Structure 1
Amino acid sequence: MDFENLFDKFYKEANSRSEIKKSRFKGESSIVVGAESRDSYELVLQGPQSEFILQEVIRKQFGKSGYNSTPIGTHPDFIHLESSDELVKQYSCTMFVDIKGSTRLSLLYDLEQVFLFKNAVIQTCVEVVRAFDGCVHRLMGDAVMSFFGSKEKSKEDAIADAVNCAATLRVILEKSIKPWMSANQFDDKDFGFRVGLDFGNDDQVLWGNFGYSTVAEVSATGLPIDMASKLQGLASKNQTMLGQGLLEHIEWPDYYSKEKEQVRKNEDGTEFTVKVPYVKPNITCSEGKPINYRMKEFDFKKFMEVSALPDKVRSEINNNIRLNPAIRFDCYVIDDDGRKKYISASRYLEKDLSLVFEVSANKNSRLLFPLQVKFTKTNHGQFVPDNKSGIPLPSKPYTLSKKSSNQFSQGNSPYSTVSHLESTSYRGLHTMKCEVKDKNGNTVFTDWIGVMIK
């Protein structure tokens, strides 16, 4: 996945579509074309490959097939609510994304330039959301509101999609959009994203048709929906805030989040830092007591340890990751049908499944064999027994020699391989760390795989 050139390519495609529209409409003075026909004609001109250019790259990386062509507006599960008085309770993971610092661009550059850039950024947000099976509900100036989840998708997977979407948006911002701005003399000093994420269960989210007649939209209401918006407003530049509903439903590990901090000043002007654990303003319940709705700041850098984003990008952001082109580290789910690769922290697995963690080293490389391999698992959450949540548990040592093989190897493989067996036992996000040292004791590889369990 070439993140460095991803936005540049998308920006050029967006401008190309704009030029196609201009040239087409200039020649339409003698032709009457219905709205539906014009939309179809435009789609033929631009081609699906240009609209889904980001989706194609991202979905492949996260093991998703096909494209998400859901249009903006009504969630597909609730089309039947249009022009209806029916109300439906169904969960949702809600995301608000605000593009910070874009207003000032209108004071610095030609408006057409600003439009083309801002539109490409918004289109990027839209396509990243759709790449993770999200439904873009509304564009609000420089903000995008989206829903993740459906009656066909588990609640846990909807949250996984939303979290991975937030992480991917930040990577594209830092590795693609901001470098593009610098290369094209756009001021990127204050530019960034602010994201709010929260989850509401079936009994907390109500869907219905707001408004009346032709001035209406099908949307959702509930405390978690409103909190997602407030969380976005409380997020610092290029940060994502996670709400209590999300944190509690999936046992989100403290390791991958942190309390928001706010800098304040004493009377003498000296600064000090305070923790902000609850959404502000701290609203009250019917009894007049503050609800103390918890929030955490997503720890983007630490999450890169388990993210399914490209290894090169992850290691640039988090230098705890040490890659080696001659070493592979993978996880597989084992069942009666064989084994299937599990992409790190991409989806939630059922309990009581067998896992195999596999490390392979190229025997024809310059690695100094034999290699010593150590697996270290860390379980998180309240369901982990014996107060071992968050405690690293190392495995027995393994050795990779040039003669090593395993039960899955066939023939004379150029790789030496060792496997470590585990199972899916506790709800939450858990990790397996792999460290490889050469015969001289030098660390030549360090990486993690995150396993999400329902």
Structure 2
Amino acid sequence: MSQLNDIFDRLFASKIPTEVILESQQFSVFENLAKSHDIEQVRPPIEELRSLFGKENSIFSRSIGTHPDFLDTSILPHHQYVCSLFLDISGSTKLGLKFPLSKVRLYKNAILSTAIELFQAFDGHIHRLQGDAVFAYFGHKEMKKSDAIINALNAASLMQSYNKHTLSKFFEENKLPPLRIRIGIDIGDDSEVLWSEYGIGNVTEVTSTSIHTDLAAKLQSQSPRNRIMIGENVYNYLDLSDKFFDVKTHTENGDTVEDKYVLKDTNLYAYYQMRVFNWEKYLDSFSSLPKSKSEGRIYSSPTDFELICSVKKEEDEPFKKYCQNSYSLEKGMHLRFELLNYASMPIGNIKWKVINYGTEAEQSESGLEYFMEQSEGEYVCEQSTAYTGLHFMECYIYNHGGNLIAKDKFGIFINDEIRDFRRLGVPESG
């Protein structure tokens, strides 16, 4: 993931004045980046990041406070879904033991402002900053609910990766313990989220009233350090495979006990589950992101070859490039997977394998995994979208001796936007 880490390093370095980096012994890993601050870059790091995830439109929001859908308060109160994300950063307090306040403020702002940029890059809206915490909304009236969740997961995953690969270097060089970042994400359907104005006179705030907004903060507090905790609606609406999440556990009297519920009220008969999202495994599944070579294979994507996907809705339409896991596709769309830029590889044979996940696929297919026999030996494989969930096309590359020399997979989200949400709130009367 060197390309992604390079983007993170440049994002962080761009927020620290060049003279501060060059005068400090604590910035050796960013020194070369600092020297290039004054060189005009063809593409800013955040634009490179958006390009990796297929973001072609302009950023949805560059403001803080009132969600752009509700700047006209005359429509309030109003019911509209939203995916809420709450991020809390622990550990930055000790910066005050190492640096004067002016630099503490500089470094803390560099961390928070990068989090803001990452969330905005995935069309999130920053609602509020609370000390070392960020509260953001994902989703708006023109966005599909599944896409709001996907954007939140992608943004949160990159924030955790940024902390692990870039911020950790800064804190290690300063002999400080690493930051602990916890993130909680949940979504409520239209009937479960009420947008309205709170306050009096000129002291007001437009915000969401929803148990699922509240649960995002509670999920954050339940998250293990440097992890992402997601609510039941998040993984159920995407029909996400348990390959990408785990049940939280703790030790009690020497036994391992599962913590499945973020809400468990027996008096009100209210139960709502949570899972720890495995953001590292999720990012490692991206064909477009560099990864380490494994299992003795000497070629890997996207350094030695590329696996791409194109989609179209109608037969007579041209194919359009689809960036992996960037948004959800409708059912019945045509897919075209291609192997490209493989000139340095001694390819003898190619095999394509479908990997389906989710309840719909389980109920409809005799087998969730199968090779596309008609596409063996071809550099192109065509398929179609059929079931809600996160599914993969795997590509196996063999040399002329029949030995496997490379393997990669390309993930696509499919969602028809009709899955039920878990409803916890009391329905409006009348």
Structure 1-normalised TM-score?
0.79
| Matched residue type, 2:139 | G
Residues 1:344 and 2:324 are matched in the alignment:
yes
Instruction: Report the secondary structure of 1:103's partner residue.
Output: helix
CA contact (8 A) 1:351 1:425 kept: yes
In 2 relative to 1, CA 321–422 (structure 1 residues): closer, same or farther, beyond 3 Å?
farther
In 2 relative to 1, CA 418–98 (structure 1 residues): closer, same or farther, beyond 3 Å?
same
Instruction: Report the secondary structure of 1:302's partner residue.
Output: helix
2:106 paired residue number = 116
2:421 paired residue number = none
| Matched residue type, 1:384 | A
Structure 2 matches for 1:209-248, cutoff 5 A? 209-248=197-236
The number of aligned residues is: 392
Instruction: Report the secondary structure of 1:345's partner residue.
Output: coil
1:70 paired residue number = 62
| Structure-1 separation of matches of 2:193 and 2:244 | 26
| Structure-1 separation of matches of 2:284 and 2:8 | 24
1:425 paired residue number = 386
| Structure-2 separation of matches of 1:98 and 1:228 | 11
| Structure-1 separation of matches of 2:95 and 2:83 | 32
| Structure-1 separation of matches of 2:329 and 2:228 | 25
Structure 2 matches for 1:10-159, cutoff 5 A? 10-16=11-17, 53-65=44-56, 66-81=58-73, 86-159=76-149
**How much does 1:207 deviate?**
0.4
CA contact (8 A) 2:185 2:229 kept: yes
**How much does 1:63 deviate?**
1.3
Q: Give CA-to-partner distance per residue, 1:35-62, whole Å, 9 cap, x none.
A: xxxxxxxxxxx99x99x94431211111
**How much does 1:97 deviate?**
0.7
1:276 paired residue number = 259
Residues 1:359 and 2:342 are matched in the alignment:
no
| Structure-1 separation of matches of 2:172 and 2:53 | 29
In 2 relative to 1, CA 219–118 (structure 1 residues): closer, same or farther, beyond 3 Å?
same
CA contact (8 A) 1:330 1:359 kept: yes
1:392 paired residue number = 369
CA contact (8 A) 1:241 1:296 kept: yes
| Matched residue type, 1:338 | P
| Structure-2 separation of matches of 1:318 and 1:211 | 59
Residues 1:375 and 2:352 are matched in the alignment:
yes
| Structure-2 separation of matches of 1:197 and 1:321 | 38
In 2 relative to 1, CA 15–368 (structure 1 residues): closer, same or farther, beyond 3 Å?
closer
Q: Give CA-to-partner distance per residue, 1:306-327, whole Å, 9 cap, x none.
A: 337x522x44899999615442
Q: Share of identical aligned residues, percent?
A: 32
In 2 relative to 1, CA 302–350 (structure 1 residues): closer, same or farther, beyond 3 Å?
same
CA contact (8 A) 1:305 1:321 kept: no
CA contact (8 A) 2:347 2:400 kept: yes
| Structure-2 separation of matches of 1:380 and 1:186 | 44
Q: Give CA-to-partner distance per residue, 1:204-240, whole Å, 9 cap, x none.
A: 1110001111211100011111111100000111100
Q: Give CA-to-partner distance per residue, 1:394-420, whole Å, 9 cap, x none.
A: 2227555xxxxxxxxxxxxxxxx6211
| Matched residue type, 1:14 | K
CA contact (8 A) 2:7 2:48 kept: no
Where do 5+ consecutive residues of structure 2 fail to align? 21-36, 416-430
**How much does 1:356 deviate?**
1.3
In 2 relative to 1, CA 150–236 (structure 1 residues): closer, same or farther, beyond 3 Å?
same
CA contact (8 A) 2:334 2:385 kept: yes
Match of 1:203 among 187, 191, 195: 191
Residues 1:328 and 2:306 are matched in the alignment:
yes
| Structure-1 separation of matches of 2:366 and 2:262 | 26
CA contact (8 A) 1:54 1:127 kept: no
| Structure-1 separation of matches of 2:341 and 2:4 | 27
In 2 relative to 1, CA 358–165 (structure 1 residues): closer, same or farther, beyond 3 Å?
same
Residues 1:295 and 2:283 are matched in the alignment:
no
In 2 relative to 1, CA 8–443 (structure 1 residues): closer, same or farther, beyond 3 Å?
same
| Matched residue type, 1:395 | M
| Structure-2 separation of matches of 1:131 and 1:64 | 8
Q: Give CA-to-partner distance per residue, 1:315-367, whole Å, 9 cap, x none.
A: 4899999615442211111342311111111111111111111123634x2x3
Instruction: Report the secondary structure of 2:191's partner residue.
Output: coil
CA contact (8 A) 1:85 1:208 kept: no
In 2 relative to 1, CA 2–306 (structure 1 residues): closer, same or farther, beyond 3 Å?
closer
Instruction: Report the secondary structure of 2:54's partner residue.
Output: coil
| Structure-1 separation of matches of 2:221 and 2:284 | 27
| Structure-2 separation of matches of 1:260 and 1:72 | 33
- Which segment drifts farther, 210-219 or 104-113? 104-113
Structure 2-normalised TM-score?
0.83
